Structure 1
């Protein structure tokens, strides 16, 4: 029979599925550093006579802060490593470069999710990570060859990362027991927050010490190393892994017995369109990404304009919220699984509880920000709490597709991510427009609008969210009379 709780917990920490979560954590960390690398490097890449891309550019990207968010117009390029190329890129050109990766991600989210379910997520994710890493290594050369090539590189890199991101959920549909999904996916997902922290902290130092090309060389090489680890360790199905223990294999297979997906069939698009629980998930993604994108894109700008700190302090302060985000993601996943494994709350209750915390708490912090702008400490605390509490959604609607339609988890996660990226593009444009009118009232309206969007998403999810497998997602069993 089963061993005691402590013994089982120790075994789980050393399990192969936990090792997969760690490898996926490193992969997500690598991809986010590659995505944000240009946002840091462009400060040194552009000619000092050119103004960096304004924070209110309508095509602000969701992949990192605008150029002027980490620098100022008076900063001389001589402060960086001398011997590296400098380019005459206008603010409009910089904005187009930043936004290109987001459009690339959108282009592949849905098809890559579908294809990974058909041909294997290991190959799709590994290929996406490898392509993104190679393109990162090639970026300095592309910059020398022309800005058009840089835009093409960033767009294709976005397509590769979209392909890699959605493939993860096909793997978890076969590897994660229902009572461990929150924990495993939160460990993997926290890599993005931790990667943002790393690149914001060390990107400027690398540029000053070695030259901006080494930002791409270092994190591109790191991605190639992760690819070797990925293709060596990861398998699509636990039943085919050569190193998995019999006990772990039986545990995973038995826990997923009622959610097996042995046969492939066409995606039931009509049933999905009519499914309100799915629309509740999509609405949650839209609301969640609206505020998160503003924080990722405009946080350094807000800190610089409101707190009036220098570039070094701005970079360090901008990285702190991502430490909180990474921590809350992991702790939230652990707590969610404890509530489920001990039968303290039903699955749908856990999903709605963490969705409520992840949308309500950051909204309250955002609404409070304009009223505490005069307090340095309070402002920093609230800015740290916004992404930290927002990531509690990782144990809510973000993994809810694994509950309602595990057979199509990868496809639906790609579609959900598309709604999130759409929200990011809209929120970036709206934020730029609002703060260009008036800085003080503009920021207040930005945070109020974000809170309103979050509340709409929360109410919709609480009304229509479910955690049972939908009829159209169940495996049809044929019987002979």
Structure 2
């Protein structure tokens, strides 16, 4: 039976409640031109900026170093695994960059550490950011996270000039600032996203990360070739600062305090979310959270999914350059192509998941498992295919694009599962899961640098094998053990009282 707070009680066990029932029986206010859709679009552009700030170094690195090989003279006579094509004579080594732009003699290992530096800082602020955003609201933390990272990005050319240690420290600080953004996003949606619109709104927001990568990679390559690589960081940093002006001007933590929302939409959101749409206070059921099996399944699966994602995000431009020998402009576009597909698929899968839930085609748990399995297993299969297509440019680009495109369906599964099992605590839960999920962001570029020290196709084959195998493991774990049922420790006292009253009424009747 539906309760006033929007949860359907189908058994006596509180931990078997699924948050997939509409709260109100009246017509749902149109999403078109709504404040909640406007919030999703503005957050989408925020994550476009976030990922542009995060990934621009992976392409700019090719222009920043003297060569992808630290000793070009010594290796000038070596034979490449993939021969240079006559059509690709304008590769990155031979391109004439704008005069006066500095380049640095950083070897493969140093580049790996610099590409992974961001995640050292990113690890530190996920949990405290999620906790504070869940208590105070997420808008200030999301805005400050983007603004702080954007300002720090402006100092990248200076840090690079001072040396790799300074650049490592700056990138770690950028990660420190950006670490609060995703938990803050989750905390905001816990107060703004009606259960039956949750998948669509959240995947639209999070798909900004894929679109940011798609936009940033080719633009970075173009800017490097025309204006020089320092301009990349000035432009990206400036864009992030501009976005923050709109964010602080237009956004509110809660529909109750928004100045331009209609009464109809406000009532719909508040009534749909119920008691779960309030702050969790200072106290948390930490022991219950850390002993929760569904929580650990999310953690393990996200770590597995992120390994391949971060491997491609940070190292794909290097693969395009050192193995396939694309020139820098082609490198940027082709490295970005998979993320265009991922952006589109994430949005489509989000609204498809909402449709399945609303029409009760599958239960919420089955929907989460279905989209996660499709995303991770298909991504793994295409990555393993890349390992064996050799030097074929067409097959490589096609398989990488399919891997990231279909893999994006997992965004509708495991990556928003925290909101299902504990909506009220979703900010801190995302902080915890994303902290563990960021570990691959630290280790994957370093492991890739280790596997590919000799810049051979065999080394990269190990990279794709490891990524695919980890994806398969994560999918199996999630299929077997995941759930979307609200956990006992996440139910508020008010909800427990309502359950007891409804049960008493049913028994009396």
TM above 0.5, yes or no, is yes
**Gaps in structure 2 of 5+ consecutive residues:** 1-24, 73-89, 498-509
Name 1:247's counterpart in structure 2: 264
> Partner of 2:176 in structure 1?
159
Does the 8 Å CA contact 2:53/2:150 hold for their aligned counterparts?
A: yes
Is residue 259 from structure 1 mapped to residue 276 from structure 2 by the alignment? Answer: yes
Whether the 8 Å contact between 2:116 and 2:446 is mirrored in structure 1 is no
CA drift at 1:277: 0.7
Quote the Cα distance in structure 1 between the aligned partners of 2:259 and 2:194. 19
- Counterpart CA distance in 1 for 2:440 and 2:446 is 10
2:121 alignment partner, one of 104, 107, 111: 104
CA distance in 2 between counterparts of 1:302 and 1:143 reads 23
Shift of residue 308, structure 1, vs aligned partner:
4.1
Contact 1:52 1:91 in 2 (8 A): no
Q: Which moved more, 1:449-458 or 1:92-101?
A: 92-101
> How many residues of Structure 1 are paired with residues of Structure 2 in the alignment?
457
- 1:199-254 alpha-carbon deviations (Å, 9 max, x no partner): 21111221222232221111111111110111111111111101001111111111
Higher radius of gyration, 1 or 2 = 2
CA shift at 1:52, angstroms? Answer: 8.9
CA distance in structure 1 between the aligned counterparts of 2:193 and 2:365, rounded to whole angstroms: 18
In the TM superposition, residue 287 of structure 1 has moved relative to its aligned partner by 1.1
Structure 2 match to 1:212: 229
- Hey, what's the Cα distance between the residues in 2 that align with 1:230 and 1:190? 18
Shift of 1:148: 4.1
1:45 maps onto 2:64 in alignment: yes
What TM-score do you get using the length of structure 1 for normalisation?
Answer: 0.88
Whether the 8 Å contact between 1:132 and 1:160 is mirrored in structure 2 is yes
The Cα RMSD (Å) is: 2.7
Please report how far the alpha carbon of residue 134 of structure 1 lies from its aligned counterpart in structure 2 after TM superposition. Answer: 0.9
Aligned counterparts, 1:298-309, within 5 A: 298-304=315-321, 306-309=323-326
Q: Could you list the per-position Cα deviations for residues 17-38 of structure 1 after superposition, in whole angstroms to 9, with x for gaps in the alignment?
A: 1111111111111111112223
TM-fit CA distance, 1:166: 1.8
Query: What is the 5 A alignment of 1:316-355?
Result: 316-355=333-372
Q: Are 2:32 and 1:13 aligned?
A: yes
- Determine the structure 1 residue equivalent to 2:47: 28
Alignment check: 8 A CA contact 1:360 1:455 kept: yes
| TM-score computed with the length of structure 2 as normaliser | 0.83
The answer to whether residue 436 in structure 2 is matched with residue 414 in structure 1 is: no
Larger CA deviation: 188-197 vs 91-100: 91-100
CA–CA distance in 2 between the matches of 1:464 and 1:313?
Answer: 43
8 Å contact from structure 1 (residues 295, 387) kept in 2: no
Q: Which runs of 5+ in 1 are unaligned?
A: 54-70
1:51 is displaced (CA, Å) by 2.6
Task: Report the equivalent of 2:218.
Answer: 201
How far apart in 2 are the matches of 1:316 and 1:440? 22
2:181, 2:53 → 1: CA distance? 13
Question: Which structure has the highest helix share of the two?
Answer: 1
Match of 1:454 in 2: 471
Residue 283 (1) aligns with residue 307 (2): no
Displacement of 1:145 in angstroms is 4.7
| Structure 1 residue 436, shift from structure 2 partner | 4.3
In the aligned structure 2, how far is the partner of 1:321 from the partner of 1:440?
A: 21
C-alpha separation between the residues in 2 aligned to 1:239 and 1:179? 20
